[in-house]
Amino acid sequence: MSKVKVATLWFSGCSGCHMSLLDIDEVFIELAARIELCNSPITDLKTFPEGGVDVTIIEGAVANEEHLHLVKEARAKSKILIALGDCAVTGNVPGMRNGIPTDKLIEGIYGKETTTNGQLPYDVVPHLLDRVRPIHEVVPVEFFLHGCPPPPGVIAKAILALLDGKTPELVGEDLKFG
């Protein structure tokens, strides 16, 4: 049986959701036999394999131009997209900057107000979007894993259900934000 190809992406988030993913402990032994982890902060592979993947799990909100590019690529190259955690599902903490004009924000953080010889990050690093968006505001998403971070048990339950060809049953406490 060929392995199920899984990618994970890290957008505007604290990496706590990836930590929670790593916290599924012994479930990894089962996963190791059944999935091939492709591009992911964990493997440090940067690009989607040729032919795409079966599942892409995305942590974080869409906050800059790189995220916007990647989320569209992920959608095009994945059969199933999972929004992992509150930033990906709601915008959460990164979304709190929405309503503040981006230029004012950059100026406030990198400009003279907070640092001496501050340089505005307009070169090399991706530009911020006007507004931070949850994943599903940009591309369609199949499954939403709530929580900051989502509990490891919920992540394991969702992945294992998908591997068995079933729809993850996310109910009750599984849908708790925060």
Structure tokens at 173: 């406490």
Q: How far is the CB of 164 from other proteins (least distance, A)?
A: 20
Shortest gap between Cβ of 98 and other proteins (angstroms)? 4
Between 115 and 167, name the residue whose CB sits nearer to other proteins.
167
Reduced to 3 states, what is the DSSP secondary structure of residue 14? coil
If the CB atoms of residues 31 and 135 are measured against other proteins, the closer one turns out to be 135
Q: How far is the CB of 52 from other proteins (least distance, A)?
A: 24
Q: Are strands 53-59 and 4-10 parallel, antiparallel or unpaired?
A: parallel
- Choice between 99 and 165, CB closer to other proteins: 99
Whole-number Å distance between alpha carbons of 45 and 43: 5
Tokens 């997209």 appear where?
A: 81
Residue 81 CA to residue 139 CA, distance in Å, equals 9
Q: Which two tokens stand for residue 160?
A: 């294992």
DSSP helix/strand/coil, 42: coil
Q: Which residues contact other proteins (rule: CB under 8 A)?
A: 83, 86, 89-93, 95-96, 98-99, 131, 134, 136-137, 141, 143-144, 146, 148, 170-178
Cβ 150 to other proteins, closest distance in Å? 11
Report the residue count for the chain. Answer: 178
Cβ nearer to other proteins, comparing 51 with 178:
178
